[in-house]
DNA sequence: GCCGTTTTCGGCCCGACTGTTTTCAGTCG
């Protein structure tokens, strides 16, 4: 998959063009880069199937950029990019990663001090050479050193699962201030993106100065990056930044819309506003200089002729068109699955395999969460390291589960523990445990836990073969990615979807913060293909069952509705749904 | 360089904050 490489090149070209003060082209390259980066398909496939014409049909890609993509795919390089690199032999990607350093600064630093990379930059700053340049001073030099130090220890982005608990805590604190009338997180946290760069809070207050003081003195702050009357910015110990903005009450709706983004969503929205004779910015919606009060976000959308939409949808992936259609009376926006719609978790590990908690502890925790059922999906024997169960142990566990079900029933709980397992899919697509043992379970999950670097064709066939097994109901973490660590397997997702549809196999949305697998664009594709999904926590200790919130968020980002997710079904219907699989045997 | 139900030319999102400057350029979101 060359998507990421190409996106990187076009981002770099955008920077190079900015260095040369060229207008508008940089944005064009940036947009193309973004399109490629978020493309669900392999760009090489698109080119092979439809040639340059197919490339040009992608948003932000025209004749010139399509030609460059072709050049890269056929020759492995882009001539113009190579020329730019020769002209400015600088490490753009890493230098722009330094906060406060942009293309113009990079150009000056290269021309005056021959700075090409991070090491050069750090050295020059340490030697006090930067402060002597016109336009720079001691402060800018110090900021560069601090930013480099920050860069060195931070990965730049954080998992939603790491950030959201901190955000909820700060949110609660701000909410309890009497000077605060309204407060909400905005930005990618509000959209529940899988990784977060920094956090934005939006506040309405009758005493902004007090709020700023309070915010800048929160525990866990290691640096105040900016403190103004309406905006402040701080760096947290964990390594991420938090911003706060105070806005007037009559601007709150517009501001919340604006700062929630995404950037791409907003650009389209502002264009739409302009077309209709409005001007839209963070302060409100204006018509010939007059502000139309938008105290609520709904007001902004309504005035533009759109329905309000959930923040998780705002990625310019068709939601604006859908909201336009919906405002005209056509149900087009999805009715997203709610955060309380899940009735049970079907992927939890007990202490029968490597999990931390007993069946009873897990069951009681699930009951506390309001679940009606809980599926125990312990590993099977291939995963020795996780103490995977063999046929004999599975049979023993069955006795324990049935006994516990009886005990819970006598205690008056309307709750059922389901017997499942997470079998390992071997390289040839077979499972690591006897069919006979699987036939006795309520349901079976199968997943890949080894040999993840197979070529696309083989890997796809491997998963499809597992789906063809009449006992396999669910494929766990179908693409195998680990955020910030490991890419997804090489697979042909379209083929996987076709097979899932044909075999009545359910695809998992794994809620583990580093997995969130399926990813949003794949969820959307699965939904469109009519393939059912299940949102599971993959908990190895009971508290991790709360991870399901991240899985639901991911499902919502993929436009999933309640009807697309099988563990929103009551128990009898869920079991009937598993039964569908057996019919094809 | 891209784009088009006012279009194949002439537009392209916009404001706060910083650090350096005396009026603004660069960066960021």
Q: How far is the CA of A247 from the C1' of B24 (A)?
A: 26
Lowest mean pLDDT among A212-221, A285-294, A540-549: A285-294
Q: Mean pLDDT across chain A, nearest whole number?
A: 90
Q: Band of the pLDDT at A58, cuts 50, 70, 90? A: confident
CA–C1' span, A521 to B28, in Å? Answer: 28
A528 pLDDT more than 50 = yes
3-state secondary structure of A35: helix
- Give the per-residue pLDDT at A449: 86
Q: Where are the beta strands (DSSP E) in A520-585?
A: 533-536
Write out the two tokens for A179.
């000077």
Which pair of structure tokens corresponds to residue A170?
A: 């700060």
CA A293 – CA A316 distance, rounded (Å): 25
Nucleotide lying nearest to A100, CA to C1' measure? B27
Is 70 exceeded by the pLDDT of residue A119? Answer: yes
End-to-end C-alpha distance for chain A, whole angstroms: 36
- How confident is the model over A191-215, as a mean pLDDT? 91
**Integer distance in angstroms from CA A487 to C1' B26?**
35
Closest residue (Cα, C1') to B14: A281
Nearest to A10 by CA among A47, A50, A48, A60: A60
Give kind and range of the element (H or E) at residue A103. Answer: helix A103-113
Which has the closest alpha carbon to A352: A422, A280, A303, A297?
Answer: A422
According to DSSP, the β-strands at A284-287 and A278-281 are antiparallel
Measure, in angstroms, how far nucleotide B10 C1' is from residue A24 CA. Answer: 12
Structure tokens at A228: 């103004």
A282, A252 Cβ separation under 8 angstroms: no
Which has the minimum average pLDDT: A53-62, A67-76, A232-241, A535-544? A232-241
Class of residue A282 by CB neighbours under 10 A (exposed 0-12, middle 13-18, buried 19+): middle
- Nucleotides on chain B that have an atom closer than 7 A to a protein CB are 1-3, 6, 11-21, 25-29
**Which residues contact residue A569 at a Cβ distance below 8 angstroms, ignoring those fewer than 6 apart?**
A343, A577
Per-residue pLDDT averaged across A283-311, rounded? 88
Q: What's the CA–C1' distance between A372 and B6, in Å?
A: 58
Strands A445-447 and A474-475: parallel
Which nucleotide, over all strands, has the C1' atom closest to the CA of A271?
Answer: B13
Structural domains in chain A, CATH included, are: 3-153 (1.10.150.110), 158-246 (3.30.460.10), 266-327 (3.30.210.10), 344-583 (3.20.20.140)
**Tokens 């023993």 sit at which residue?**
A396
**If you average pLDDT over residues A160-189, what whole number do you get?**
92
H/E segment holding residue A27? helix A25-37
Q: Which nucleotide is nearest, taking the CA of residue A273 and each C1'?
A: B13
Q: What is the pLDDT of residues A401-460, one digit of tens each?
A: 999 999 999 999 999 999 999 999 998 899 999 999 999 999 999 999 888 878 888 899
pTM of the model: 0.76
pLDDT confidence of residue A585: 47
CB A122 within 8 A of CB A116: no
Task: Indicate whether A297 pLDDT > 50.
Answer: yes
Closest CA to A202 of A299, A282, A304, A309: A282
Which of A160-164, A279-283, A488-492, A497-501 is modeled with the greatest confidence? A497-501
Q: How far is the CA of A181 from the C1' of B21 (A)?
A: 38
Supply the pLDDT for residue A97. Answer: 84
> Whose CA is closest to A447, among A463, A465, A460?
A463
Report the protein residue whose CA lies nearest the C1' of nucleotide B20: A135
Which nucleotide comes closest to A233 if you measure CA to C1'? B17
A550 confidence band (pLDDT: 50, 70, 90) = very high
CB A481 within 8 A of CB A446: no
């Amino acid at each position: 998959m060359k998507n990421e490489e190409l996106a990187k090149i076009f981002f770099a070209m955008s920077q190079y063009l900015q260095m040369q003060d060229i207008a508008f082209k940089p944005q064009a390259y940036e947009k193309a880069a973004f399109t490629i980066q978020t493309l669900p398909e392999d760009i090489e496939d698109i080119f092979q199937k439809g040639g340059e014409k197919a490339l040009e049909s992608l948003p932000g890609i025209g004749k010139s950029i399509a030609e460059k993509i072709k050049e890269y795919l056929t020759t492995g390089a882009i001539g113009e990019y190579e020329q730019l690199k020769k002209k400015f032999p600088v490490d753009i990607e890493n230098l722009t990663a330094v906060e406060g350093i942009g293309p113009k600064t990079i150009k000056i630093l290269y021309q005056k001090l021959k700075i090409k990379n991070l090491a050069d930059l750090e050295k020059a700053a340490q030697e006090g050479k930067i402060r002597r340049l016109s336009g720079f001073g001691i402060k800018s030099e110090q900021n560069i050193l601090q930013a480099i130090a920050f860069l060195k220890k931070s990965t730049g982005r954080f998992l939603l699962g790491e950030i959201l608990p901190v955000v909820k805590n700060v949110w609660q604190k701000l909410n309890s201030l009497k000077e605060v009338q309204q407060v909400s997180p905005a930005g990618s946290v509000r959209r529940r993106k899988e990784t977060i760069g920094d956090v934005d809070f939006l506040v309405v207050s009758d005493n902004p100065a007090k709020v700023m003081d309070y915010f800048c003195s929160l525990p866990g702050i290691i640096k105040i990056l900016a403190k103004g009357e309406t905006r402040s910015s701080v760096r947290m110990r964990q390594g991420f930044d938090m911003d706060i903005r105070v806005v007037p009450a009559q601007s709150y709706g517009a501001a919340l819309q604006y700062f929630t983004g995404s950037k791409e969503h907003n650009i389209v929205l502002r264009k739409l506003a302009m077309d209709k004779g409005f001007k839209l910015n963070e302060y409100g919606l204006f018509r010939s200089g007059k502000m139309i009060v938008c105290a609520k976000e709904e007001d902004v959308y309504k005035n533009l002729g759109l329905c309000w939409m959930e923040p998780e949808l705002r990625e310019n992936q068709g939601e604006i068109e859908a909201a336009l259609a919906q405002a005209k009376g056509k149900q087009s926006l999805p009715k997203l699955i709610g955060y309380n719609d899940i009735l049970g978790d079907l992927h939890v590990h007990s202490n029968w395999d490597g999990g931390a908690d007993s069946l009873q502890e897990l069951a009681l925790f699930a009951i506390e969460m309001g679940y009606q059922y809980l599926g125990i999906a312990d590993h099977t024997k291939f995963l020795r390291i996780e103490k995977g169960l063999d046929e004999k142990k599975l049979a023993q566990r069955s006795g324990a589960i049935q006994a516990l079900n009886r005990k819970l029933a006598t205690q008056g709980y309307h709750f059922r523990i389901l017997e499942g397992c997470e079998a390992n899919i071997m390289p040839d697509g077979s499972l690591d445990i006897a069919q006979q043992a699987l036939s006795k379970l309520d349901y079976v999950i199968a997943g890949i836990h080894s040999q993840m670097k197979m070529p696309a064709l083989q890997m796809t066939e491997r998963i499809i073969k597992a789906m063809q097994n009449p006992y396999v109901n669910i494929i766990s973490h179908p693409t195998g990615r680990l955020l910030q660590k490991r890419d997804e397997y090489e697979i042909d997702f379209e083929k996987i979807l076709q097979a899932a549809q044909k075999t009545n196999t359910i695809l998992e949305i794994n809620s583990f913060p580093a997995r969130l697998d399926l990813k949003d664009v794949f969820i959307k594709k699965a939904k469109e293909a009519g393939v059912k999904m299940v949102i599971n926590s993959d908990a190895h200790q009971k508290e991790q069952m709360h991870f399901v919130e991240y899985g639901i968020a991911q499902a919502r980002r993929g436009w999933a509705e309640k009807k697309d997710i099988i563990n929103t079904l009551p128990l009898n219907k869920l079991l009937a749904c598993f039964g569908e699989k057996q019919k094809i045997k």
